[in-house]
Structure 1
């Protein structure tokens, strides 16, 4: 007598949901983070103050999410475990990145600072090649010059940089932030276990609060009573830019090659331009609009096909 699969089993298999495309997660996270320079400017706080409050106000939301995720992953006995110490180191770098970038926003402007910090698009794949031995696809190498040119246009560099308060200092701060940013993204990917999103972001955010407080205390100070208006803007920044943005990016980057993920993150300056129009009434020039089009086209070219990291890459140390 031949046994056939039960209708329940067949229905279960048929209704199994496919995971979301990691590129969509990374795009959504990038657009959330694109709000960051606008909210930071509206808060009117120092670099250390903005970053410390951004992290602390995000933790009450992130911690329950991390606990729920941990309860779910504990059920899988054979599930691979992450390396939390790598996530902590990455979080320390994240605190440096956000504090330095906030300083760059004040010194050189939101658009140009966002352009400069996105040189991580080159630094991240280079680090992945050196640390993980991950190969860089030829299509990415072809798209990099186009992407960087488009980001430069979108940030307003073609217009001379505007009335920046201190363009030299702002450039240095943004470039240092880019190095820290790339290090954070790589360590978050290497240190997180498969399926983890909220837990690593929560741990990294707590570590970022520590490093940003130390750096901020030494540089322009940390104001623990910035006022309710500033706290309100920073709370919105924590919810959208920190909780939603980084969790979405963590979920997407874990299943994407570093070059593809870094390319998608270049949508941040484009999103900043669009949101600046909608929120602050800052209408871009024709050069900036052209840059937006170039960036979107280059990102679509570099990320047109998803390639999962190989098992060897995923476990390399």
Structure 2
């Protein structure tokens, strides 16, 4: 997403110096903690997602209001803010709720690390959507990586050895792939629906919409517990603060100022971190073939996203 010249020239130097790649990296590391905290909470997919959103809103809404006041002090921003399309952010938020609920189900079924690897197939889906909607170019190397990635998904999902140790590797793989489509849609709608300079505002709006869609889906699937234990609430509050507030705001701010290929590559830190944390914290050790599949998936999407398309001049961001 382009950063308008008026905003770039009027903003303080300190703000211009923030590298969007650094924001995306830190945000990705925060998100990598999410499946660990979800597993520790021991709650159903709908319960985890609904409370993740609701507990984040008291933090996100003030952040959004502070951001709005700050942007109003910058010359020409009121017009820019009006150019945002909140309804697209709401659509993205509804998809985010589906993504997080399905992903939570995948965490329970196939493990924190493998589910996060599989859901990051969005790294392939997002550039395809960007090509269809925004006309961003797709390289041949990207297309060649897709069948390799699909093979890795099959291995990571336990096709070779049945995913020994996982509760339901096939179901977990299906849920993670469905979540990946919803995740890619969220990132795209957030990108094209947010006004230049906005970070917290769109994430707060999307989180509110996600609470609605996750409650609906969660109520139909395993139910939503409105009175979880205090221990579960503690883990979910930590999830809301780190995974929702810090993670998504940083990712939204970084991704909005980066070409899709660069942002998608940085997001690969999520599955790598989740696999390592899953083994260290939860003692969830994937089988050898699942680990091979994870490596294949991560390698394929990294190859697909690397130099997938050169950023257009309006997307270029000064370091």
Provide TM-score, normalisation by structure 2. Answer: 0.81
What is the Cα deviation at residue 203 of structure 1? 0.5
C-alpha contact 1:87 1:204 (8 A) present in aligned 2? yes
Equivalent residue runs for 1:135-146 within 5 Å: 135-137=137-139, 140=142
Paired with 1:16 and 1:245, the residues of 2 have a C-alpha distance of: 21
- Give the aligned CA root-mean-square deviation in angstroms: 3.2
Q: Are the aligned partners of 1:115 and 1:155 in contact in 2 as well (CA < 8 Å)?
A: no
Q: Per-residue deviation at 1:276?
A: 2.6
- Larger of the two Rg values belongs to structure: 1
C-alpha spacing 1:98/1:49, structure 2 compared with 1 (3 Å): same
Q: Which residue, 75, 78, 96 being the options, matches 2:76?
A: 78
Residues 242-292 of structure 1, C-alpha deviations (whole Å, 9 max, x = no match): 111101110111111212222221221100122234433456777777778
Q: How does 1:1-317 map to 2 (within 5 A)?
A: 18-79=16-77, 81-137=83-139, 140=142, 160-282=162-284, 309-310=311-312
Q: Take 2:147 and 2:25, find their aligned partners in 1: how far apart are those partners?
A: 20
Q: How far apart are residue 294 of structure 1 and its match?
A: 7.2
Indicate if the aligned counterparts of 1:91 and 1:208 stay in contact, CA closer than 8 A.
yes
Q: Distance in 1 between matches of 2:128 and 2:298?
A: 22
Please say if residues 143 and 301 of structure 1, whose CA atoms lie closer than 8 Å, have aligned partners that are also in contact: yes
Q: Deviations over 1:30-70 (max 9, x none)?
A: 11111111111110000000000000111111111111100
Quote the offset at 1:152 in angstroms.
7.7
- Identify unmatched segments of 5+ residues in structure 1: 1-12
Change over 3 Å in CA distance of 1:16–1:47 after alignment to 2: closer
Task: Give the distance between the partners of 2:186 and 2:34, measured in 1 at CA.
Answer: 17
Count matched residues: 301
Give SS of 2:77's match: coil
Tell me, in whole angstroms, the C-alpha distance in 2 between the residues paired with 1:288 and 1:219: 27
Asked whether the 8 Å contact 1:116–1:174 carries over to 2, the reply is yes
In the TM superposition, residue 306 of structure 1 has moved relative to its aligned partner by 11
Q: Report the equivalent of 2:4.
A: none
Residues 125-165 of structure 1: per-residue CA shift (max 9 Å, x gap): 11110011111345655666777777888888776422222
